[in-house]
Structure formats: structure tokens, C-alpha cells
Amino acid sequence: MSSATDRAPRRDTKPPAASGVHLEDGSLVPAATEATRQGPEHTTQPMSYDAVLLSGFGGPEGQDDVLPFLRNVTRGRGIPDERLEEVAHHYRAFGGISPINEQNRTLKSALLAALAQAGLDLPVYWGNRNWAPYLDEALEQAAQDGVRTMIAIPTSAYSSYSSCRQYREDWADALEAAGLQQTLRIDKIRQFFSHPGFIQPFIDGVRDGVAAAKQAGHASSAIEVLFSTHSIPTEDAARSGAGLFADVEGGGYAAQHLAVAEQVMTEAAPGISWQLVYQSRSGPPSQPWLEPDVNDALDTLDGRTAVLIVPLGFVSDHMEVMWDLDTEARETAARLGLWFTRTPTPGTHPAFIAALVDLVQERVSGRPTPQRANTTTIGPWFDVCRPGCCENRRLGFKPAIAGLQP
């Protein structure tokens, strides 16, 4: 079931922005199940879902796809094709093919098998935000198959506009495009940055990387670990995490990453120097984004001979990992004479797949919050996003489901 959307005929444009989201009388959370309609931070009501919605970012699968894909990603920002070509060359260097779709096909298969093994008879529908198979196609297929309630898994672990709220906006767009606002109910798993199954692959990677650096002759004091994540505008960062981290530079987005990095280092490499860095900024120079850039951080390392780069903000080895880290950061390290390794992303690591299943199980069983898997000092995060969390004020208010309206 749902395989029809995996390799569907491609169209060039994602669904248009939703003009509204249906709200039933007295409801607070649009397109939600009864368990979350009133917007609890955490729900302990057991739920019976019909299916899982795996939501990806999407990526081109050929040279002709690259510009249409980038137009989808940047829709509403008025960026001309000439500027998009500056990013397009990253994809063109790999034949115009992003690995992310194939990775999500693999992830979907692994998730289906793990759900079945756990006794959860749930089909998995996969839809992308920015390229085929699109979210509205996945929802249309689900509705045709008789699905009425879904639990959504976005392939992003942290709180920010691009990594959480924009998924919720695109679900609203997809529901309206498919005409399913009053038919289909979608809940969302909590942001999973603090789940031990998400963190374990990074622990394994850092432990192995430090061991390899030492075997290559680098002392502990000469090793630096750089935890890298996508940079975002500082004004977006300040509104991330439901405003609970106003005293932290970078808001909830940075606070969550720092909490995960601290846990990784405590378990994998206590005493080794580390820092949080950023990559892949795309805004104009006049707009402040989170810093330091990974390449600037490499340039300013003092007294280090070996560096581990940990793609902490990413679930899989998609283009921004392959280009910004495996290509550009590696080249910077080589220029500086640094021993270099990039640790793996979670991908289909068994602990990560088990974590996704556990996140579905906690909602199916109505697991009490204190009993939920959580490893960091922050969390477990909310089941229903709080009012105004991660809003992008530059783009204006847009309907978003699986959260309270701002």
C-alpha cells in the first residue's frame, strides 16, 4: 500500500499556499485528532492511527529537476533563477541528483519493517515538501485507501521555522490542495532531538572518530569536535522553541543542539574540546544568521591537528552534508593541514529506526510524559506546538496544522 506515490509522475510545482484551515466549533488545533484538538503540551490519551505520514524535504532526481526544485524551496521569496543557479551547481556536480529521495525510500522500508515487528499494523505514506512525491499526492492516496487519522514523522529533529513550522504549513497546503481539510486528521510526533535513539548514532560516530584520530597519532588535546547544523536567521532562531530560551543566543534551536552535543560528548569523548558551528546559510549578507560558519571555525582552530565534523542537525547524508561538509569543509581542513573525518548521520541506524517506532508507540499507548524516552536536559518536547512557535514573521502568517495558531 502507498507505493504508488513513491515514484509518481513528477510535476514541477508544490501545492499552493493554503488560504485557510478548517476549524471545527470550539477547536484550537486545526486538522487534529480528538486527543490533541484542545492543544495539550503532551497528551496521554491512547490513540488508534490508520497510518504514518513520513514527510521529507525532497530533492531533484535529474538535471532538469534542479531549478524547478529550487523554485519550490524558495517560493514566495522572489529569488531570481540567476541566484538559484549559485546553489544549483551543488546539485549539478552530482548529476542533478540529490540522494535524499532514495534515502527516504530506504527509511520508509526500514520503518515499515520495524513497525510490523513492534506489532503496529500501520502503512507508511511518504510525501515531500518540495519535490515528487508531493505531500498532497501522499494524502490523496491515503484518503483513497480509507485512511482518516495519521501520525506524521517529519525528517527533522529540532525546533525552528524550516525544521518544524514549515512542515506544518506544508501539511496545511497539502490538505487544502487535496480537499481533505474536513476528512483527514493529522497528529505529529514530538521533536525527537532528545530521544536516545536519535542521539546514539552520533555517540557511535564520535567515539569511532576520536579512536581513529588517536590511532593516527593525534593526542586528545589536539582533537576538536565540530557539531554542525544548518544556519538560520537570528530573528527566526529567537522565536524557536516556543520562546522558552530567550536567554540563550540562538533561542531554542541552538539550546536543543547544545544539549544534544553535550550529551554526545559526555558519553563518547569526555574531555575532548568541542563547539557548535553552522553551515549552508543562504540569506543576504545584510541579514544576520547564526554563526560561526564551519569553515570559519576551522580557520580559527588553534593548537589542533585533527578535527571531527558531526552533522548533528541532519537525519541523513543529503546534499548539504555531501557538499558543505564532505566537499567544502574537507577542502578547508586539507588546506589547513588538519586530519579530518566526518561522522555518520542517523540514516537507518537501528537505534534511530527504533526511536521513530517508539515515538509512534508513545502516542498510540498514551504514554505518560515522565515515562517517555529522553536523554538530554531539555525535553521530552511538546506533542502540540505552542502558539507562535517558530513563526517566520518576514513571510507573514500562514496556516499550519498540528499546532496552536499564533
User: Which residues have a Cβ under 8 Å from the Cβ of 113 and sit 6 or more positions away?
Assistant: none
pLDDT band at 23 (very low <50, low <70, confident <90, very high): confident
Query: How confident is the model at residue 21, as a pLDDT?
Result: 83
Q: How far is 209 from 193, CA to CA, in rounded Å? A: 21
**Mean pLDDT, residues 351-359:** 98
Q: Choose among 73, 64, 50, 81: nearest CA to 129.
A: 73
Instruction: Please write down the HEC assignment for all residues of 143-157.
Output: HHCCCCEEEEEECCC
Fold of domain 3-59+98-191+350-371: Rossmann fold (3.40.50)
Q: Choose among 186, 150, 190: nearest CA to 389.
A: 190
Answer whether 3-59+98-191+350-371 and 196-342 agree in fold.
Answer: yes
Decide if pLDDT at 8 tops 80: no
Query: How confident is the model at residue 86, as a pLDDT?
Result: 86
pLDDT tens sequence across 138-189 = 999 999 999 999 999 999 999 999 999 999 999 999 999 999 999 999 999 9
- Phi/psi of residue 282, nearest 5 degrees: -135, 0
* pTM exceeding 0.85: yes
Length of the chain: 406
Angle between helices 196-215 and 350-365 (to 10 degrees): 160
Q: Where are the domains of the chain?
A: 3-59+98-191+350-371, 196-342
pLDDT band at 57 (very low <50, low <70, confident <90, very high): very high
Q: Checking DSSP bridges between strand 51-56 and strand 149-154, what pairing results, if any?
A: parallel
Does the domain at 196-342 match CATH 3.40.50.300? Answer given as no
pLDDT higher at 312 or 387: 312
pLDDT band at 230 (very low <50, low <70, confident <90, very high): very high
Q: How far is 308 from 104, CA to CA, in rounded Å? A: 26
Query: How confident is the model at residue 256, as a pLDDT?
Result: 98
pLDDT tens sequence across 375-384 = 999 999 999 9
Query: How confident is the model at residue 4, as a pLDDT?
Result: 41
pLDDT band at 7 (very low <50, low <70, confident <90, very high): very low
Query: How confident is the model at residue 76, as a pLDDT?
Result: 80
Q: Which three cell numbers stand for residue 50?
A: 490508520
pLDDT higher at 99 or 7: 99
Q: To which residue does cell 521555522 refer?
A: 161
**Mean pLDDT, residues 203-228:** 98
Decide if pLDDT at 55 tops 60: yes
Q: Which three cell numbers stand for residue 28?
A: 484550537
Q: Which three cell numbers stand for residue 91?
A: 546539485
**Mean pLDDT, residues 95-115:** 97
Angle between helices 251-268 and 196-215 (to 10 degrees): 60
